[in-house]
A = this chain, B = another copy of it.
């Protein structure tokens, strides 16, 4: 079913590089008014990150038979939303983090007011670049992305997270929180790719819903494992913060070993889920492996 000649690392590197160019074109030039805001937006978006969400979009597009070019705006949009959330999350009134992707976070490099506006403007830009495509399913993409971003998605998850610091959450509460905080955008990233095709069969959307549910959960468990085990330099962001802030994590809840077992189970289930698809699912398989095997 899979193509033995497919090398995920090459595919990922090519698409990471590509979306970087797309983003560099979409985010306004530093010379355009207001210069400082545009400079800060480029600082927050460009030259960093693994672009996992964009890869999910391109992988979803490939499964749905869409061209890479048709998925460019969506891939950029999900990265813009992700970048906006990082800028706002790092601000002093939120997680108060000085380091992001190995560089000073946006509000440290610029100032709090600029960081606030950077996040706001990146969110608008995400919807603007999808709407500009005028693609057949662009309105559906706006809808999915907006839902994933708002109070019943990423922002809502962040709100629950803030209020649960210092509380011991049940596994159900923890999963709900992360489904909002991380899972919703991972789901949107994958679906937006599928909606980049002129039309998308409901069965394919259904499979991608399952896929992204598993990946969203795996992604968070791995993140918690890394926060507990890796050092700041490796992560490119402050390590050990969860324990310091007394946050409930999968590691604090399940223990390190059981958390690793959970990741492996999710990986096996995902491969099973994709077994009915041909080589068009190879990028999705590769991303699953990449997410579940991040070194720990």
Contact = CB atoms under 8 A, between A and B. Distances in A.
A114 B159 contact: yes
Interface in A89-143: 91, 93-94, 111-114, 116-117, 119-121, 123-125, 127-128, 130-132, 134, 138-140, 142-143
Nearest to A133: B139
A150 B163 contact: no
B131 A146 contact: yes
A164 B128 CA distance: 27
A188 to B, nearest CB: 11
Given A113-B94, A132-B143, A155 B124 contact: yes
* Interface size grouping (class) on chain A: 35 or more
A28 B152 contact: yes
A150 B127 CA distance: 10
B149 A34 contact: no
A238 B88 CA distance: 27
A28 B88 CA distance: 22
Contacts of A283: none
Interface in A139-172: 139-140, 142-143, 146-147, 149-153, 155-156, 158-160, 162-163
